[in-house]
Structure 1
Amino acid sequence: MEKIFKLKENNTNVKKEIVAGVITFLTMAYIIAVNPDILSNTGMDKGALVTATCLSAGLATLLMGAYANLPFALASGMGINAFFAFSVVLGLGITWEQALTAVFIEGIIFIILSLTKLREIVVNKIPLTLKYAVTSGVGLFISFVGFVNSGIVVKNDATLVSMGNLKSPVVIISVIGIITIVILHKANVKGSLLWGIVLSTIIAWGYAYFNPEMAKAYNIMLPQGIIKYESIAPVAFKLDFSFIYNMNTLWNFVIIIFTFLFVDFFNTLGTLVGVASKAGMLDKDGNIKDAGKALLTDAISTTFGAVLGVSAVTVYVESSTGVAEGGRTGLTAVTTGILFLIAMFFAPLFVAIPASATAPALIIVGFFMMDNIGKIDFTDFAEGIPAFLTIILMPLTYSIGDALTFGILSYVIINLGLTILGKKENKVSGVMICLALIFLLKIVVS
């Protein structure tokens, strides 16, 4: 253990690392229920998605621990999975097989960028202001999805959105879950997100037991067993490359790939920066220590995750809970990865967890991701306006990619403009200018 993970060098021990790994798993185990719930909106098999989610998370986290020796856990990214389901498949009308292919190709591109260290350079050249804004914006987006899934926010033709029926069973179940998570978290109970989902699920299943017809109308049903391995065959190895035979679909597909590229890139960026900062792994310039190995692991995980049948796999902000418990090496990640592999044999339980029970976790995770917003200097318009646009447009446009476009373009235009006028020292890097030009090209050709 000492030779592989360098425990003494990182001022830790085996017991501390294993406990940290268990806590990390408890705080992010909700993804086993939430990810299939979101991706199944595309028509993908929910049972197969449970297995694919566990398998991809387990293997990716094991890789992070064994190769990068970092205490970061990975799974299908929150925000990215919503973008995959709602913006790409349902919004653009392409098949989920083609969307997985886009994720696969995007992962290959990321591997190349990571091997050439170009991705690491780009990560370190993004201003800290936008790094914090990305994290906060994704948080708002995830919370918005949670409020919709809970029935608290509903569609309204007159006002676009409005308050739902607060007396409906799904809203009551979700509210109980939110209150439970808040109380448990405040009481320092580990895995508060998971326990909130568990309590809400038990209440929902109780409702289904005593009133099955009404419960079915709210998409609440009892589990059909406890221990069962669901085959990943319905979603694994389903990549569809047929787009290459049609120039029109080829061009549209290229746009989708690069949209995924940008969304995944900045989602990973925001989360990695957030977790690294909590772990004390940022240097005085805000650069991430050992970013190269972490980013390469992330890229490889995204690629094989798409093959297994899930949206982009990325570092999880919940890794910070294990870090807070003293986890400092890859042994923490290895422990978490093993627990994910064990969890995939309990598919019937996870499949039967209703959206109203997972919605509280989405809402609270969004809240957690907002903690860096206070580090943004909103009194400086050159920094604050781009950050504000990035944050607010993610939920309002229901698109992380569109929000990033506005954020980066506004940052470059405002700061270059002030530099030209002699009002501010130039802080815009060549990397940022190149990103702005790429985003501008994307707007022109789309």
Structure 2
Amino acid sequence: MPYNKQESKLRQKGYFRTELIAGLTGYLTTVYIVVVNGSILSETGISLESGMIATILVSFIGTLLMGLFAKLPLILIPGMGINALFAYSIVEGTGLTFQEGLAAVLLAALIFLITAFTKLGILLKEAIPNSLKHGITAGLGLYLILIGLEKSGLVVNGDNSVIAIGDFTTPTVIVSILTLFLAIFLFVKNVPANFLITILCGTILAYFFGIIDTSGGSAVALNGQQLFFMPSFSAIGDLSFWLAVFPLAVVLLFENMGLINGQLDMLDRNESYSKAYQVTAFSTLTCAFFGTSPTVSSAENAAVIASGGKTGKAAITASLLFLGTVFLIPWITMIPDTAISPILIIVGMMMAQNIRLVPLDNLAEAMPALLIIVMIPFTYSIADGMAFGFIAYPIVKLAQGKQKELSVALLIISTLFLLDFVMKVIGI
């Protein structure tokens, strides 16, 4: 009997160590988001430090809640693609202020929360055709690739074209190319924490080429304005505000549905879907007050699961490590765009793979999705790119005489997008 107890204690100790290692692995593979998301948020007018603090806090809270309440080894971080939608389309694209953009985040999070606790989530999931869902993901991927290429200097505004190749003789472009090839090598080799290694090596390369700002290193003084933000609803009467809420809510809902479902399949814990979905929805609500785009269940959770993570202990471990990242901010701010851009490009490539799920052998079905994929990067607007596909889909179905396949919800969504285009034409 004593032997059995001792054996049981050793086994439990081994399980606990495995969970800790899985949590550490998850942290190392996702901590890049602090720099990348902070950099994207800084495009909205807030400081890089504020963006990184917001990213750290929502990642800490969301992941901690996932570990404590859902008891799952899933890490929640601001979603790539969603952060671009928030910064470049909602704030910059529509002319909303940062606080008004956070109001859009808050309403999208409330919609997400309602769907998490009602049957509305299932209704919305079934209302939008799979081809459009995959088109949105692939379009977001191409959009991230374009942003990454711009940040790296590999593409610039062309004199005789919309874009042109950058100047390969400049140190910035040389470092960007070297860092990108390193990132691709590490990613394909499936090296643990490959994104983090890429950022570190890219920063060192930038230092030796003299393109890094070494004036950082001072402590960051935290204050209330950096920790909390108050969403502004001053633009709530404008249609453009609601047309910012809609694509944000759509991307948020369907990306999390896909991610959580796939990750729970890996864990063989599909019965925990509701709890995971509800915790994720609540986590997005906190983002509006901490000042960042919404969180999602990280795609890198596959690394946590592969490392043996099975319970909430792995998530709790990762959450505490995220909180400790606050003390690294003075050094993180020195990381240049050339070290961040390869991450955007590779994540974009991963998302763009969803084009293979679009039924390309059926052009009538694929055409609206392809419009989304092409128009998101070409219009430099996720919302406008989505609009082309959502408006085209009912037209295609009507032309085929298959109007019965159109749900009321989809027709409402398409009409809203069409109304937005009409208002832009007449100048409202």
User: What TM-score do you get using the length of structure 1 for normalisation?
Assistant: 0.82
- Per the TM alignment, residue 272 of structure 1 is displaced from its structure 2 partner at its CA by 4.0
- Provide closer, same or farther for how the CA distance between residues 128 and 381 of structure 1 changes in structure 2, counting only shifts above 3 A: same
Structure 1 window deviating more from structure 2 (408-417 vs 148-157): it is 408-417
What is the match of residue 101 of structure 1? 103
* Contact 1:70 1:328 (8 Å CA) reproduced: yes
Matched, 1:261 2:243: no
In terms of mean alpha carbon deviation, does 323-332 or 151-160 score higher? 323-332
Provide the rounded CA distance (Å) in 2 between the counterparts of 1:428 and 1:387.
15
Asked if structure 2 preserves the Cα contact closer than 8 Å seen for 1:138 and 1:267, the reply is: no
Q: Which piece of structure 1 moves more, 188-197 or 407-416?
A: 407-416
Cα offset for 1:289?
Answer: 6.6
**Residue 346, structure 1, aligned to residue 339, structure 2:** no
Q: CA deviation at 1:42?
A: 2.4
The residue aligned with 2:417 is 439
C-alpha contact 2:243 2:417 (8 A) present in aligned 1:
no
- Cα distance in 2 for residues equivalent to 1:410 and 1:144: 24
Task: Report SS of the residue matched to 1:165.
Answer: coil
Name the structure where helix makes up a greater proportion of residues.
2
Q: 270-279 or 63-72, which moves further after superposition?
A: 270-279
What SS does structure 2 have at the residue aligned with 1:238? coil
Which consecutive unaligned segments of at least 5 residues does structure 2 have? 1-13
CA separation in 2, counterparts of 1:231 and 1:117? 41
Asked whether the 8 Å contact 2:108–2:248 carries over to 1, the reply is no
CA distance in 2, matches of 1:262, 1:291: 23
Q: Which moved more, 1:268-277 or 1:306-315?
A: 268-277
Give the number of aligned pairs.
410
Aligned to 2:229: 238
Report matched runs for 1:118-267 at 5 Å. 118-208=120-210, 215=211, 220-222=212-214, 224-225=216-217, 228=219, 230-231=221-222, 233-239=224-230, 241=232, 243=234, 249-252=235-238, 255-267=240-252
Deviation at 1:339, TM superposition (A): 1.9
CA distance in 2, matches of 1:292, 1:438: 30
Instruction: Verify: 1:308 aligned to 2:304, yes or no.
Output: no
Q: Secondary structure of 1:370's partner? A: helix
**Residue ranges of structure 1 left out of the alignment (5+ in a row):** 1-11, 209-214, 244-248
Residues 436 and 380 of structure 1: CA distance in aligned 2, closer, same or farther (over 3 Å):
same
Residues 1:115 and 1:308: Cα distance change in structure 2 (over 3 Å): same
Corresponding letter in the other structure for 1:231 = L
Residues 108 and 274 of structure 1: is their aligned pair in 2 closer, same or farther, counting only changes over 3 Å? Answer: closer
Q: Which amino acid aligns with 1:280?
A: D
Q: Give CA-to-partner distance per residue, 1:58-78, whole Å, 9 cap, x none.
A: 111222233334443222222
Runs of 4+ with deviation above 6 angstroms? none
Q: Which moved more, 1:172-181 or 1:409-418?
A: 409-418
Q: C-alpha distance in 2, partners of 1:13/1:412?
A: 53
Is 2:111–2:249's contact at 8 Å kept on the other side of the alignment? no
Partner of 1:374: 356
Moved more, 229-238 or 364-373: 229-238
Judging changes above 3 Å, is the alpha-carbon distance between structure 1 residues 420 and 86 closer, same or farther for their aligned structure 2 residues? closer
Q: CA deviation at 1:274?
A: 4.5
Deviates more, 1:90-99 or 1:349-358: 90-99
**Paired residue type of 1:195:** I
- Give the share of equivalent positions with the same residue, in percent: 33
1:275 to partner: Cα distance: 5.6
Secondary structure, in 3 states, of the residue corresponding to 2:37? helix
**Mapped partners of 1:187, 1:180: distance in 2:** 11
Which has the larger displacement, 328-337 or 194-203?
Answer: 328-337
1:230: how far off?
Answer: 4.6
Partner of 1:82: 84
Per-residue deviation at 1:344? 1.7
Pairing 1:372-411 to 2, within 5 Å after superposition: 372-411=354-393
What RMSD over aligned residues (CA atoms) do the two structures have, in Å? 2.8
- Are the counterparts in 2 of residues 132 and 270 from structure 1 also a CA contact under 8 Å? no
Q: Distance in 1 between matches of 2:275 and 2:185?
A: 37
Call closer, same or farther: CA 1:69–1:438 in 2, change over 3 Å: farther
